[in-house]
Structure 1
Amino acid sequence: MYGKVKKLVSGLCLVAMFMLTFAQAAFASDQPVQLISANLYIYKFGYVGFSGKVDVSNLSPQKNVTIHYTPGDGTWYDTDASYEGPAEAGHEKWGFSISTNSMNNTHPELANAETIQFAIKYEVNGQTYWDNNNGHNYSVSRYTESSTILGKPNVLRSYDEISQDTFLGGVYVKNLGFSKQVKIKYTTDNWATTKEADASFSMPANSDDSVEAWHFTVDHIAPSVSQIKYAISYTVNGQTYWDNNYGQNYTVSR
């Protein structure tokens, strides 16, 4: 009897250990805070800017998102991110943007920054979560006039506009393979009909070629079209990734 009880207890312990291990693994795979994108850029008037987007799990209405960064001067600085809107189910998008300004000398630490290293701190429910790029910190460096990195997404809209009879825009993609295809799926009549347009490679988006900038141009948009809705697909290594604005699609108006 003792042996049976001992085996039963041992079995329960193994089950408990397995459940604990599984719970730990499940928690480890859940990332409450993740970088979406970050950008280091130089304005045409010489101002330097550092901005980005962050994805957080909506664990409570009360939360703080902070960017912890250093421009390489030996000092770490903090800047707050602010809520921008809902993301995918149960998530929110937050954004941050700081820059130098010759009039009031804001953020002078950015003026001579060649590379900015940073991590993201998320405080909620008495807990602090970090996205520090798996312990390596994120890094964005000057590259021509602008340098962009992507975190969570593999494809991300950059800009869009309708200019006279032309619909044009830009896309960022992670450089996951040499052969890739970027397409725009769009509608001019609220999805009654759809069309596709190919995007073309424009240039590397940063110094290490981890992100590429692509662009698209659609001519002969009818004067009667006042609004275009669209989503972006990115196919590489046999996989297709989408940026459809968290299921809402993008909308651009004249």
Structure 2
Amino acid sequence: MNKIQLLYVENVITRKKRVLQQELSFFMLVENLGYDKDCDVLWSGEDGEWHTLRATYHSNPDHDKEYWRAHIAVKSTADRTLPGNIKFALRYRTQGTEHWDNKHGLNYSSQADSGIKVVTSRPILNIGFESSLKDGQKYVPITVSVNQSVHAKSVTIHWTTDNWKHTHKTPCQFKRSFWDEKFRSNARNPNQYGSQIWKGLLKIDDAFRLQYTISCECPDQVLWDNNYGKNYSLCHKPLKVMILNLHCYQEDNQDAKFSQIAKAINDLDVDIVCFQEVAELWNDGHGDWDTNSAKIINDRLNSPYHLYTDWSHMGFDKYREGVAILSRFPMLKQEAKYVSNSHSAYSIHSRKVVMAQVHVPCMGLINFFSAHLSWWDDGFPEQFKKLSKWASDNQTEDVSGTMLCGDFNITAGSEGYNLVVKSNEYDDQFLAANSHGVFEKIFKVNDPYWQHYLADDYRIDYIFMNKASDLHITSGRVLFTEEDYGRVSDHCGYLMTFEPK
């Protein structure tokens, strides 16, 4: 294929709500030559003035291909006419090189208010599809362009919401009034380019993911659009969980680092955050809420989350030190418990864990525990045993999953780690998401206690998820290194994403 290839252009003049405007959409296939890339459309209307329209990433049908889309709506005003017939070309810039699709120097064209013009040789093509589901979306419209030369008898959508365990078939309808009903447009169906539009509607209810393919029955054959053999797929946003030890106010430029943490949560659209070494001024044991590090970070989010925090003991002779959970979703249940034998506010071996139960759309009830446990010799076995029992007691039939999150002070492969994973109850989620050998020096904790440890992977921060969970991890990455938001603690953070199985 060419490095960039036009699939179709849509050109309609809509008269809805008494507003006359022309909408132009361009859909293209791009070869993935590198992460840093730009795609745009250079176009002109009947006035001969050229414009540059930036395209945005849409989705990827394969690891080496990407869909990109550009759209513009031009309103008719007293001093501005509609573009009318247009000419255009596509440009793709990456790695210092430009690639063009300009119809071999002739430029593409599209007549005003003509509807869809398919330029690829594919006789059946999915048009205007989305790459994700919206919150609360229960219906998915499907629009298909069929070349009228194939004399289509019927168009059918074959779809599933459970990874093809069960399959549904939904017929599409052909209506000559399609463009008039949708846009109040004068475009014809089929139009002068031979594009015949068929429409279907899928009722998916509360499904997390939809997969589908399209068939077209013709007099002598059945044609398919299966997205280059990958089928079309769209789903809701995955659950994003972040863990981070905040280092109990011991960082230089501490306030700026709180802002960086908030920026990462905003940028990455994190849903759940589990913090350890959350601190606020001691204040004779009464604390000082305005100095609470989890509160400060939460207050700097675009929209503050639900926050639950509690403290275990005095830290660094001047702070109440504890743990916290931030949740985008309301917390249906909250609880804090000591898992250590010591409950003394003056002992660093006093360890309290906080728990929050939330309802995640399309996933159900999930229990999160934010924990900071002691080292092996200082009580880890007993603490984890209590934590595990507490979590098991809350793993009722209506709970989709349980995640134990935080700083466990056990390195991968150590005696403590084996105690957790060999219980056959929990799995290390970061390890499940990444192949062996991905851990570089920048990923490792800077805690002085572990500097002598020579293992290739000495993470001590984890998300352990129960094996009976209805979720599975889809990605895991390290955060707060020099590669992204910079160091904000003596620990790095981790971001993991989850979807229903």
Q: Which runs of 5+ in 2 are unaligned?
A: 177-187, 237-361, 363-501
Give the direction of change, closer, same or farther, for the CA distance of 1:62–1:190 in structure 2 (3 Å limit).
Answer: closer
Give the direction of change, closer, same or farther, for the CA distance of 1:192–1:140 in structure 2 (3 Å limit).
Answer: same
For 1:119-158, what per-residue CA distance to the aligned partner results, in whole angstroms no more than 9, with x for missing partners? 1112223332221234442222233xx6122233541144
Distance in 1 of aligned mates of 2:166 and 2:228: 20
Q: How does 1:73-112 map to 2 (within 5 A)?
A: 73-101=47-75, 108=80, 111-112=81-82
Q: What amino acid is aligned across from residue 132 of structure 1 in structure 2?
A: N
Normalised by the length of structure 1, the TM-score is 0.67
Identity rate, percent: 23
More strand, by proportion? 1
Post-superposition offset of 1:67: 0.7
Could you say which residue in structure 2 is the equivalent of 1:194?
167
Moved more, 152-161 or 199-208: 152-161
Could you say which residue in structure 2 is the equivalent of 1:226?
206
Q: Does the 8 Å contact 1:202/1:212 carry over to 2? A: no
For 1:57-105, what per-residue CA distance to the aligned partner results, in whole angstroms no more than 9, with x for missing partners? 11122222121111121222222212233232301222212222579x9
Q: How does 1:1-254 map to 2 (within 5 A)?
A: 30-43=1-14, 44=16, 45-101=19-75, 108=80, 111-143=81-113, 147-152=115-120, 153=122, 154-158=124-128, 169-203=142-176, 204-205=188-189, 207-216=191-200, 225-227=205-207, 229-236=211-218, 238=221, 240-244=223-227, 247=230, 249-251=232-234
Moved more, 181-190 or 243-252: 243-252
Post-superposition offset of 1:176: 3.9
Q: What amino acid is aligned across from residue 131 of structure 1 in structure 2?
A: D
Count of aligned pairs between the two proteins: 213
Distance in 1 of aligned mates of 2:138 and 2:53: 41
Q: What amino acid is aligned across from residue 185 of structure 1 in structure 2?
A: H
Give the direction of change, closer, same or farther, for the CA distance of 1:98–1:217 in structure 2 (3 Å limit).
Answer: closer
Post-superposition offset of 1:244: 4.2
Give the direction of change, closer, same or farther, for the CA distance of 1:200–1:209 in structure 2 (3 Å limit).
Answer: farther
Q: Which runs of 5+ in 1 are unaligned?
A: 1-29
Say what the alpha-carbon RMSD is for the aligned residues: 3.5
Q: Does the 8 Å contact 1:36/1:55 carry over to 2? A: yes
Give the direction of change, closer, same or farther, for the CA distance of 1:243–1:202 in structure 2 (3 Å limit).
Answer: farther
Q: Does the 8 Å contact 2:27/2:67 carry over to 1? A: yes
Distance in 1 of aligned mates of 2:129 and 2:63: 24
Give the direction of change, closer, same or farther, for the CA distance of 1:226–1:89 in structure 2 (3 Å limit).
Answer: same
Distance in 2 of aligned mates of 1:35 and 1:77: 18
Give the direction of change, closer, same or farther, for the CA distance of 1:212–1:135 in structure 2 (3 Å limit).
Answer: farther
For 1:185-214, what per-residue CA distance to the aligned partner results, in whole angstroms no more than 9, with x for missing partners? 023544222122332322355641421110
Q: What amino acid is aligned across from residue 94 of structure 2 in structure 1?
A: V
Distance in 2 of aligned mates of 1:251 and 1:211: 25
Q: Does the 8 Å contact 2:143/2:200 carry over to 1? A: yes
Q: What amino acid is aligned across from residue 68 of structure 1 in structure 2?
A: L
Normalised by the length of structure 2, the TM-score is 0.37
Post-superposition offset of 1:48: 2.0
> Which of structures 1 and 2 has the larger relative contact order (alpha carbons within 8 angstroms, sep 6+)?
1
Post-superposition offset of 1:178: 2.4
Q: Does the 8 Å contact 2:174/2:197 carry over to 1? A: yes
